[in-house]
Amino acid sequence: MSIGAINLGLPAGVAGWKMLQGKSVGDFKAFSKDALLQRDIAYLREKLPQKATAKDLLADRRLQEIVLKAYGLDAQVGMDALMRKVLDSNPTDTGSVAARMVDARYQKIAAALNYGGLVIPEISAVPSGATVVVEGIGKGETFASFSGSFGGIKVDGVSLDGLGSRQGVAAALQAAFRKADGKSSNISVTTLGGQLVFSDARGRGTAVDFAFKADPGSTARASLQATNTGSIAVAAIGGPKVKDGTTVEAVVSLYTQARFEESLGESSDTLRKAVYAKRTLPGVTSWYSVIADRNLAGVVQQVLGLPDSFGRLDVDQQKATLERRMSLSDFKDGTKLSKLLDRYVAQSSVAEAQALASSGAGLAGLVQPVPWGGDSFSGSSAAALFSIMGG
């Protein structure tokens, strides 16, 4: 399912970083139009809205790969048991599996798809109604016209000329209201004994300004006897958001961005990490999230001059050290973040250039990036992250 490397026409290092500033994925036409990328996006748009449960989504391996990549969780592809617990987490429950994960990416995907969100079922509409008593109608004793509103639908000057029965009047009024209501069948007008019974299945409101105009000299008369206001339906709240077009397009955007960064990494892992950090660090609310995401951690550690061995320290020790060296609020300051990333690119570009200039068996090891979406914990990465929080 991997998209082949696409030449983005960017130089490596500081020059490439400067060229990236102010550009979006859409500015790279060859990438955006890539046939494999577009097929993945079409598949995502078609299939995701059909997945009513987390189990359904995970059962579709191709879709699972696309969605998890969108949220930077490539390393968890195939870990269905854990990801089902994450996706089925209630985003508002601080004790849920997703909430207890150190890495905020798990919380983001759970909240975005909302499979575990609390659901308030739909409340059905209570039909509104009105009853009109009709007297004196018969042959030669008829109404000329009707005007009024019902269920929020207004009709004016409906001809009742020559209709000498309640059934005829009811049929004419029903036809007029339904035409005015966009030819829907929500409003009905029937007869019950000497009455006309109005009903709106959608509960949009009752009778307003009913006026029956009788023919001159006719004994036909009508009076509004009773009304009930009803209530409109209330849509269900909560539950999966995968049928929401906005949600689907958000996943499409994240997936496209992830693929773009992957393509960047084919020529420069430094640029990939810098672009990833630029869009991710402003949303970080905990140092644990940085530590758990080894790509973010690598950027921060590089800038702060921390050795590779730093990542093997106890996570609480790492957090304490990082807190002393800088503030999370710096990531939300555009100027400070830009300076941090400029420094990272400059420093890392030197190392990349040295690695590319090297020869021998050690070259692969020098340029090997941390697996995207992965981390440095042993065993199951997600399980390790989860255990950090404990309890």
What is the rounded end-to-end Cα distance, in angstroms, of the chain? 38
| Predicted local confidence at residue 7, as pLDDT | 59
CA dist 342 and 347 (Å) reads 9
Structural domains of the chain, count: 2
Q: Are 327 and 202 part of one and the same domain? A: no
Q: Are 371 and 328 part of one and the same domain? A: yes
Give domain status of residue 233, yes or no: no
Question: How does DSSP assign 84-126, residue by residue?
Answer: HHHHTS-TT-TTSHHHH-SSHHHHHHHHHH-TTS--BPPBPPB
Joined tokens for residue 361 = 């068996």
What are phi and psi for residue 202, nearest 5 degrees?
Answer: -90, -5
Q: Are 182 and 56 part of one and the same domain? A: no
Map residue 208 onto helix, strand or coil.
Answer: strand
Q: Are 260 and 148 part of one and the same domain? A: no
Q: Are 73 and 205 part of one and the same domain? A: no
Give domain status of residue 1, yes or no: no
What is the helix, strand, coil percentage profile of the chain, to 5?
50, 15, 35
Q: Are 66 and 47 in contact (CB under 8 A)?
A: no
Give domain status of residue 6, yes or no: no
Q: Which residues of the chain have pLDDT under 50?
A: 1-5, 359-391
Joined tokens for residue 69 = 């990549």
Q: What is the span of the domain harbouring residue 172?
A: 128-228
| Predicted local confidence at residue 2, as pLDDT | 45
Closest C-alpha to 352, from 337, 363, 341, 338: 363
Question: How does DSSP assign 223-283, residue by residue?
Answer: EEEEEE--B--B--BSS--TT-HHHHHHHHHHHHHHHHHHHHHHH-HHHHHHHHHHHHGGG
Left (φ > 0), alpha (ψ -120 to 50) or beta: where does 305 sit? left
| Predicted local confidence at residue 384, as pLDDT | 36
Give domain status of residue 282, yes or no: yes
Instruction: Choose the final residue of a domain: 228, 251, 286.
Output: 228
Give domain status of residue 308, yes or no: yes
Long-range contacts of 14-18 (CB under 8 A, 24+ apart): 14/342, 14/345, 14/346, 14/349, 16/268, 16/271, 17/271, 17/274, 17/341, 17/342, 17/345
**Residue carrying structure tokens 């909240």:** 111
Q: Are 266 and 301 part of one and the same domain? A: yes
Residue 29 sits in a domain whose CATH number is: 1.10.3700.10
Q: State the pTM of this model.
A: 0.65
Give domain status of residue 8, yes or no: no
CA dist 344 and 337 (Å) reads 10
Q: Are 103 and 137 part of one and the same domain? A: no
Question: How does DSSP assign 376-387, residue by residue?
Answer: S-SS-HHHHHHH
Q: Are 269 and 217 part of one and the same domain? A: no
Q: Are 286 and 316 part of one and the same domain? A: yes
Supply the DSSP symbol for 216: T
Give domain status of residue 374, yes or no: yes
Q: Are 84 and 65 part of one and the same domain? A: yes
| Predicted local confidence at residue 348, as pLDDT | 86
On the CB side of 361, how many CA atoms lie within 13 Å of its CA?
0
Q: Are 352 and 286 part of one and the same domain? A: yes
Q: Are 294 and 368 part of one and the same domain? A: yes
Instruction: Choose the final residue of a domain: 228, 254, 269.
Output: 228
CA dist 181 and 203 (Å) reads 14
Q: CA dihedral defined by 367, 272, 19, 277, rounded to 10 degrees?
A: -130
Instruction: Choose the final residue of a domain: 209, 228, 247.
Output: 228
